[in-house]
Amino acid sequence: MEQQISWVTEGLHLLGSLFLLAIGLGFLAIIYMYYKDKSQTKQAIRHNYPVIGRFRYLFEKQGEFFRQYFFSQDREEMPFNRAERSWVYRAAKKADRSIAFGSTRLLETEGSIMFMNTAFPTLDTDAAPPKPITVGENCRHPYTTSKICHISGMSFGALSRPAVLALSNGASKAGCWMNTGEGGLSPYHLDGDCDIVFQIGTAKYGVRNKEGHLDDDKLMEVASHTQVKMFEIKLSQGAKPGKGGILPGVKVTKEIANIRGIHVGEDSISPNGHIEFKDVGDILDMIHHVREVTGKPTGVKAVIGDTQWLNDFFDEIEKRGVHSAPDFFTVDSADGGTGAAPQSLIDYVGLPLKEGLPILVDTLRERGLKDRIRVIASGKLVTPSKVAWALAMGADFTASARGNMFALGCIQALQCNKDTCPTGITTHNPKLQEGLDPMDKAERVSNYNHYLHYDLELIAHSCGVSDPRELERHHVRIVQENGLSVTLDKYYSHLNK
């Protein structure tokens, strides 16, 4: 007994000594930080308020992360609020997507949209799957799909290897296409054997020669993959119109450098525009060239801003003939996503989709080109209601990047450009990638896309149409400044006068 008491006493003495040591080390650390802060002049807060001033930078760094959990209401956070993210998470996990008591969405706020239910909703027995649509009917290898929602451009580089693997396999399970983004075609895009849209950015990664022009041999090599169904020439991107892609050097690994044809560790900065383009005729020349070389549907992606070029573009198509038109036009939104971009462009340049999409669709209809050029809408279309709105406005397809990132597990930590993504989606840090199981996340991507279509059909059937693509502008009302709503056809007719 005495020996046991002795051991306990010695243990307590040891704990006490360790405690005193910890206090001493902590005190020394505080003294060190105090003198370190007072002796530096780069950060005024730390100099004037040594030690405690450090918490300001800690809170600033962590504020973006914690705000979404503790301080923001369900519908107020940007760029995506908790209600939107929650729906995607539940859909991806095949969890219950119903809610109780009532909506937290304010229906009287200006700009709110509401779908008009009918007294005679479409019954399950009358419902029909979306009709197949063919893109590039006159190409040697046209592309046909019945899926409405697809995965927008995200390059290997902006995304990690396991993230691209998960998206590729998820797209295959869902039956939708996956856009490569401008970073070129990697083995991970091909892994899932899904349909692929190859994006040709301004730097032409993966299909460029040493001078930065198209290399037909490399173009043919990409086109030889049966998974590659279409080619998209990117003119501009929603989050940074007028600026090329930006991949910070910290994310340029040896593998990514080899695929892109650049140097390891150096910032990957794409030109502001294609060096071949001086006028709209040059755009049509490249569309024709890519389509002839590959035999596959070829289109363009752009943010709508100044519309003069758009009118000149369609004038040139009328002059050359309808065969010269792009097979599709992806219209991006000024509030689209990116891995990295100057804030001045993200916040202030380009039109949001609510204006850009109707401008494009109405112009195509006026020119008699709507059936020739398929419209793909992109930009924050992560929920069924947003997709239904885009279809009602005249889109044939929608494409989402960030919606599928949420399905992968993205928590909107806003670390995409820093190689510190906590979920492993946008980082090449092996430690951070360990928690992202490609096969598990592929299932979630597939689930998300399944329920995106399923709930889209719920909205369409409530409006009395059997196919979501039958939604028209008169099926949707939008709240005006006075708190009352009008149908979208009247609303946009008024705006365009």
The domain limits of the chain are 2-86, 133-495
- Helices and strands (DSSP H and E) totals, the chain: 17, 15
Q: What is the pLDDT of residue 456?
A: 96
What is the topology classification, in CATH, of domain 133-495?
TIM Barrel (3.20.20)
Structure tokens at 318: 């009328």
d(CA 138, CA 134): 10
Phi then psi dihedrals of residue 178, to 5 deg: -125, 125
Q: Cα angle at 88 between 83 and 90, to 5 degrees? A: 95
d(CA 92, CA 449): 8
**3-state SS, residue 277:** coil
Digit-coded pLDDT (tens) for 260-298: 888 888 877 788 888 899 999 999 999 999 999 999 999
Q: What is the DSSP string of 339-405?
A: SS--HHHHHHSS--HHHHHHHHHHHHHHHT-TTTSEEEEESS--SHHHHHHHHHHT-SEEEESHHHH
Q: Cα angle at 153 between 150 and 157, to 5 degrees? A: 135
Structure tokens at 127: 């419902």
What is the enclosing helix (H) or strand (E) of 259? Answer: helix 254-260
Neighbouring residues of 84: CB distance < 8 A, sequence distance ≥ 6:
382, 383
Structure tokens at 276: 């071949």
Neighbouring residues of 122: CB distance < 8 A, sequence distance ≥ 6:
460, 461, 464, 465, 466
d(CA 360, CA 370): 9
Phi then psi dihedrals of residue 108, to 5 deg: -95, 0
Residue 142's nearest CA partner among 386, 10, 328 is 328
d(CA 222, CA 369): 29
CB 339 within 8 A of CB 419: no
Q: What is the pLDDT of residue 44?
A: 54
**3-state SS, residue 83:** helix
Q: What is the pLDDT of residue 7?
A: 61
Exposure letters 354-372 (e unless 16+ CB within 10 A, then b): bebbbbbbbbbeebebbeb
Q: What is the pLDDT of residue 180?
A: 97
CB atoms within 10 A of CB 190: 17
Both ends of the chain: CA-CA distance in Å? 97
d(CA 354, CA 164): 30
Q: What is the pLDDT of residue 278?
A: 92
Residue 472's nearest CA partner among 388, 368, 378, 363 is 388
Quote the crossing angle between the two packed helices 353-367 and 384-393, to the nearest 10°: 30
d(CA 435, CA 456): 31
Which residues of the chain fall below pLDDT 70? 1-12, 41-49, 55-78, 239-244, 337-341, 347-348, 494-497
Structure tokens at 92: 């991806």
CB 260 within 8 A of CB 361: no
Digit-coded pLDDT (tens) for 101-118: 777 778 888 889 999 999
d(CA 206, CA 185): 7
Q: What is the pLDDT of residue 164?
A: 96
Q: Give the helix, strand, coil percentages of the chain, each rounded to 5.
A: 45, 15, 45
The answer to whether the Cα torsion of 376, 381, 383, 386 is positive or negative is: negative
d(CA 132, CA 147): 7
**3-state SS, residue 172:** helix
